[in-house]
Amino acid sequence: MKKFFVAALSVLIVMSLAFSASAAGIMYIITPSTSNPFFGTEQRVGAAKVRALGYEPKCFSHDDDAAKQLELFEAAIADKAVAIICDNAGADASIEAIKKANAANIPVFLIDREINESGLAIVQIVADNAQGAAAIAEKWVEAMDYKGEYAELLGRESDTNCQVRSQNYHSVIDEYPDFKMVAQQTANWDQTEAYSKTEAILQAHPEIKGIISGNDTMACGAAQACIDAKRPDIKIIGLDGSDDAAGYIAKGQMVGTALQQIAKITEMAIEQADEYIRTGKKPATEKQLVPCIAITKDNVANLSQFVYTEK
C-alpha cells in the first residue's frame, strides 16, 4: 500500500514538472468584441501563436469599455501573467490599466490601436492606415479614369482613424482637378447606416460615379445599396480587408480595399513578447507600422480571414 502511494506521488510530481515545463506562463490577449471578425482574428491567431511558443493563452474582450478592460488587466495581474497583448479600449482611457500592469511587472504589447503616451507599452504595432488609404485611393482614381463626381462616407468623426483615412484618400484624389466631391456624410462605421445614406445620396446626386468609404463595413452597405438601386457603375472602395468586402470585390461590385494585416501584427507582438520574456531585450522601436496591402480583383483570391497568402 505504502509503495502504491509513493508510486502515485512520484507520478504526480513528474506530471506537474512536465506541465510547468510545457507552459512558460500565461499570456493574456485582450481585444474589442469578437462579433467583429477583425478582432476575432486577433484572438484566434494570437492564441495559436502563444501556444506554439509554449505559453498558455487566455483571451477576453473588453467590448470597448475601459472599466471592463481595467478589470481584465487586474485579472491578468492576479493570474501572474507573463505578458498582456492588447487591442486597447481608448487612447487615453487605457493608460491607467497599462500603468497598473507595469507596476506589477507585467509587460504590455499593444496591437492595432495606439495610445497617447509612449514609454508605457513595450511596443505599439499598428497598421499604416495613412499608407493603406493612399494605396487604395490610387487604384480608385485609376478605376475612375482620373475624373468624375463622387461621395464620401466617413466613419465616426471623433476617431483618429476616420480622420487619417479621409485625409489620405484626399491626399491622392485632390491632386487631380477633375474630381468633384458632391456629398460627404458620416455613417459611423455602420453597414445599415451606410446603406440608407447611400440610397439617399444616389437619389440626390444620380450623377456620381464613385463612393469612397472609411471602412469595409460601410463600403459593403454602400455596395449593396448600389446593387439594389441598379447602379453597378458606381466605383466603391473601403479599408480593412474583410471577407465580406472581398466577396464584393471578387464580383466586381467594389473596386478594392486595403488590408490591415492584423494576423501579422498580432504574431509580431507575440514574438516580441516572447523575446522580451526570454532575454529582457526590448525591441529597438516602440511604435512599429505594418504596411497595408491594396486589394483589388487582381489579388483578392489571396485574402481570407485578414490573412494575405501569395499563391
At residue 303's C-alpha, the angle toward residues 292 and 268, to 5°, is 50
For residue 198, what is the enclosing H or E element? Answer: helix 191-204
CB contact at 8 A, 157 and 217: no
Residues 6 or more apart in contact with residue 158 via CB below 8 angstroms: none
Q: Is the CB of 138 or the CB of 199 nearer to another protein?
A: 138
> Does residue number 205 form part of the binding site for another protein (CB under 8 A)?
no
R_g over Cα of the chain: 23
> Does residue number 177 form part of the binding site for another protein (CB under 8 A)?
yes
CB contact at 8 A, 30 and 69: yes
| Positions 13 through 52 that interact with another protein (CB under 8 A) | none
> Does residue number 146 form part of the binding site for another protein (CB under 8 A)?
yes
Minimum CB separation of residue 146 from another protein in Å reads: 4
Minimum CB separation of residue 113 from another protein in Å reads: 12
Select the span of 6-14, 26-34, 75-83, 135-143 touching another protein (CB under 8 A).
135-143
> Does residue number 135 form part of the binding site for another protein (CB under 8 A)?
yes
> Judged by CB under 8 A, which of 42, 87, 128, 216 binds another protein?
128
Select the span of 86-94, 168-176, 234-242, 271-279 touching another protein (CB under 8 A).
168-176
Q: Are strands 235-237 and 148-154 parallel, antiparallel or unpaired?
A: unpaired
> Does residue number 130 form part of the binding site for another protein (CB under 8 A)?
yes
Minimum CB separation of residue 168 from another protein in Å reads: 6
CB contact at 8 A, 39 and 32: yes
Backbone angles phi, psi at 176, to 5 degrees: -100, 125
> Judged by CB under 8 A, which of 92, 178, 207, 228 binds another protein?
178
> Judged by CB under 8 A, which of 22, 171, 196, 304 binds another protein?
171
> Judged by CB under 8 A, which of 51, 80, 147, 180 binds another protein?
147
> Judged by CB under 8 A, which of 93, 104, 164, 307 binds another protein?
164
> Does residue number 124 form part of the binding site for another protein (CB under 8 A)?
no
> Does residue number 282 form part of the binding site for another protein (CB under 8 A)?
no
> Judged by CB under 8 A, which of 84, 134, 223, 237 binds another protein?
134
**Cα–Cα distance, 226 to 223 (Å, whole number):** 5
Residues 6 or more apart in contact with residue 56 via CB below 8 angstroms: 23, 25, 26, 27, 50
> CA separation (Å) from 130 to 66, 70, 87, 106, 293?
26, 30, 19, 31, 12
> Does residue number 228 form part of the binding site for another protein (CB under 8 A)?
no
Q: Are strands 293-295 and 257-259 parallel, antiparallel or unpaired?
A: antiparallel
Interacting residues with another protein (CB under 8 A): 126, 128-131, 134-135, 138, 141, 145-147, 164, 167-168, 171, 175-178, 285, 287, 289, 291, 298-299
